[in-house]
Amino acid sequence: MGKNLKAFTIIAVAMTVMEAVYTRQKPYPKRKVKTLNELIDLLRNNRYMLVFDLHGVPARILHEYRYRLRRVGATMKMAKNTLLLLAMHKVYGHVPEEVAGVLRGEIGLIFTNRNPFEVYKYIELNKVRRDARPGDLAEFDIAVPAGPTNLGPGPILSRFGKLRIPTRVQDGKIWIVKDSVVVKAGQQVSPEAAEILRAVGIQPMFEGLRIMWLVVDGRRVVPGSELELDPIKYRSSLEEAARHAVNLAVNSALPVPETLTIAVSMAHMRAVNLAVNADIVTPETAKFVLVKAVSRAYALATLVAPKAPELGLEVQAPQPVQEVQPREEAQQVEEREEEKPEEEVGAGLSSLFG
């Protein structure tokens, strides 16, 4: 009984301690308060927040990007994730789980009001040069140019020889005799190549920021991969969308400037087609109605001639119509047809039946 009472007392005391409200006695560090206020201002004044991977990014790259991003109206900021979430709670009142889930690990932040696609493209096009490191993969052939270097003769000459770079010593300096490729595209940079490139002052590698997420208004998350657009593919998609839009507007008889010409042409074509099928003779349909009548007459004569030979019908095959005619000749043909008297046209039709 005594043991049970003692255990119960311990549990009650523990629950009382857990329910107690923690009150901080010491003031918050000024540095953290300043960072928090800066984050609050950035969140309030910028709609977009790009989150990039901070792991392994050299400080020099960060400083260079910090300077370059100011030119396009973007601000880079590094802060602890807890301070960022606290600032977002103060600005937005609530942080969705989807947003809080991506604000983890070693991350850096870029705040902007500009189109995030433009900022992403700017980051990709303005990568920072750096020295080659052993194990880096060359995206193109890396060569050292011919000419003098600032290196004096010494053990480094053996490195040049190992990479088959022809050299000579002149005026107390190492001269490279001709342009020489030290790393081919697709190959890894060897320690010797990295040393030579660094010694002659060549920085062949480009390093940028890897954008992982875009947070919009503190509520919606967009993967960084969706910010990368192919201009040619994007233009093709826009052109296809425009074609579909025009087609929909035309078929919906929507009277807008872009579709009026097409809609009127289609209406005219349908009206002519309806008049021809209804055998309505007008200046525009006369040719088609006569052609249809001739075709029917030939078809009828072809059916009747074998069954009633006593009629003496002789069906002559119609002459083929020329597929291509120069515009002037076609106009002359049309003018000659208009000049034919009606008797000649009637005689032509009656000749079908002998």
Residue 107, helix vs strand vs coil:
strand
Closest CA to 135 of 213, 75, 187: 187
Residue 112, helix vs strand vs coil:
strand
The correct CATH number of 30-127+209-229 out of 2.40.100.10, 3.30.70.1730, 3.40.50.300, 3.40.228.10 is 3.30.70.1730
The pLDDT tens digits of the residues spanning 241-300 come to 988 888 888 888 788 887 788 878 888 888 888 888 888 888 888 888 888 888 888 787
CA diameter of the chain: 134
Q: How big is the chain, counted in residues?
A: 354
Percent of the chain as helix, strand, coil, to the nearest 5: 55, 15, 35
Q: What is the pTM of this model?
A: 0.58
The pLDDT tens digits of the residues spanning 104-162 come to 999 999 999 999 999 999 999 999 888 888 988 888 899 999 988 888 888 888 888 88
Average pLDDT over residues 317-334: 42
Q: H-helix or E-strand containing 341?
A: none
What are the extents of the domains in the chain?
30-127+209-229, 130-207, 232-276, 279-353
Query: What percentage of the chain exceeds 90 in pLDDT?
Result: 32
Fold annotation for 130-207: Molybdopterin biosynthesis moea protein, domain 2 (3.90.105)
Contact 115, 195 (CB under 8 A): no
Ramachandran angles phi, psi of 315, nearest 5°: -95, 125
* 206 to 61, 129, 131, 136: CA distances (angstroms): 10, 5, 9, 11
Contact 49, 84 (CB under 8 A): no
